[in-house]
Amino acid sequence: MKVVLFCGGKGMRLREFSEVIPKPMVPLGYRPVLWHVMKYYAHYGHRDFILCLGYRADAIKQYFLNYDECTSNDFTMHGDRSKLNLHNSDIHDWKITFVDTGADANIGQRLKAVEPHLDGEEYFLANYSDGLTDFHLPDLVESFPNSGRIAECLCVKTIQSYHTVQVSDDGKINGIMPISQADIWINGGYFMFHRSIFEYINEGEELVEQPFQRLMDEGLLGGRKYTGFFAGMDTFKDKQMLEELMDREKAPWQVWKSRKG
């Protein structure tokens, strides 16, 4: 199944990186967050990717054109490097289509721009390319075609340390609790679509606004609640937290390293 990845964002809350590279190229360890997302899908057998490029598209193209398998894989070097034997490989069986979808386009218009590359696909996956999870993807892929819906997204709990408050009209606070304990779910950016989604997107529209409202009005939009690990990489603090998990070899999203995965 093809996977559409939205890679055109500037990531203004990660300015120390985003001034020179697009947000999906911000590194986590040896590899950019985009690679971690792609590795997740590849683990479950989905290795045909369509990258919706925008800001600094050249950085993403050059990264894969000059991809070095030795960076994250074991290998044997013979003498003067005239021969390298890789013990395993990351992307040898990946197919990646690079599509320039506009520097300032929103998600809805980026998706419309790659519609021709999805000809013949009844269903496809999509992702914001900046969130990581250990969600068991086959649970969504296997059930969605029988749901009768046109779109479904992963709904997750935020791990941020905000507190929600209940405030009366006279300004009195009647309740306060961590947002992680409140009955509040956010869009995790992991989607599955039926190809008829394109019939619901008009020129200039943002995906989760007008198109999703039309789907909701018709009862055709689903949300799958997931209380397991999910973390977005929106700020430098998020990046530090994710890298600390990697340093301790406790990175839940690296399902390709886990027996459970």
Q: What integer pLDDT is reported at residue 81 of this predicted model?
A: 66
The confidence score (pLDDT) of residue 261 equals: 43
Residue among 5, 26, 6, 4 at smallest CA distance from 235: 26
pLDDT at residue 53 in the model: 96
* pLDDT tens per residue, range 188-240: 999 999 999 999 999 999 999 999 999 999 999 999 999 999 999 888 888 99
> In Å, how far are 34, 47, 92, 161, 234 from 237, measured between CA atoms?
18, 30, 33, 12, 8
Q: Report the SS3 class of residue 168.
A: coil
| pLDDT score of 256 | 94
Give pLDDT < 70 ranges for the chain.
Answer: 11-19, 81-82, 159-162, 179-180, 259-261
Q: In order of start, what are the domains of the chain with their CATH numbers?
A: 2-76+89-155+186-257 (3.90.550.10)
Report pLDDT for 13: 53
Rounded to two decimals, the pTM is 0.89
Q: Looking at residue 17, what is its pLDDT?
A: 53
**pLDDT at position 178, please?**
73
Chain mean position to CA 70: 25
Indicate if the alpha-carbon torsion angle 223, 26, 110, 205 is positive or negative.
Answer: positive
Q: For residue 16, what pLDDT is reported?
A: 54
